[in-house]
Amino acid sequence: MINVDIYKKQLEHQYAQEAIDEKNNITIFAIGGFMPEDIEEAKKWLLTNQTLKNMTGMQLNISEIIKIENEFRISLINKLNYFLKCLEQSKGVLKNALMLCGMSRGQVEKYRGDFPIFRTVWDEIVQGIIDELEEAAFQRAVRGVEKDVYFKGQVVGKETQYSDSLLALMLTNRRSELYGKDKDTKKENGQVLSVTINKDDEKL
Domain borders along the chain are: 4-134, 145-194
Task: Report the pLDDT value the prediction gives residue 122, as an integer from 0 to 100.
Answer: 94
Task: Report the pLDDT value the prediction gives residue 68, as an integer from 0 to 100.
Answer: 81
Task: Tell me the pTM.
Answer: 0.65
22-34 pLDDT, tens digit per residue, is: 888 999 888 888 8
Task: Report the pLDDT value the prediction gives residue 1, as an integer from 0 to 100.
Answer: 63
Task: Report the pLDDT value the prediction gives residue 189, as an integer from 0 to 100.
Answer: 47
134-171 pLDDT, tens digit per residue, is: 787 777 777 777 777 787 788 778 877 766 676 677 66
Q: Which of 58-62, 64-68, 113-117 has the lowest mean pLDDT?
A: 58-62
Q: What is the secondary structure of the chain as a DSSP string? A: ---HHHHHHHHHHHHHT-SB-TTS-B-GGGGT-PPPSSHHHHHHHHHH-HHHHHHGGGT--HHHHHHHHHHHHHHHHHHHHHHHHHHHHTTT-HHHHHHHHT--HHHHHHHHHH-HHHHHHHHHHHHHHHHHHHHHHHIIIII-EEEEEEETTEEEEEEEE--HHHHHHHHHHH-HHHHSTT-SEEEETTEEEE----TT----
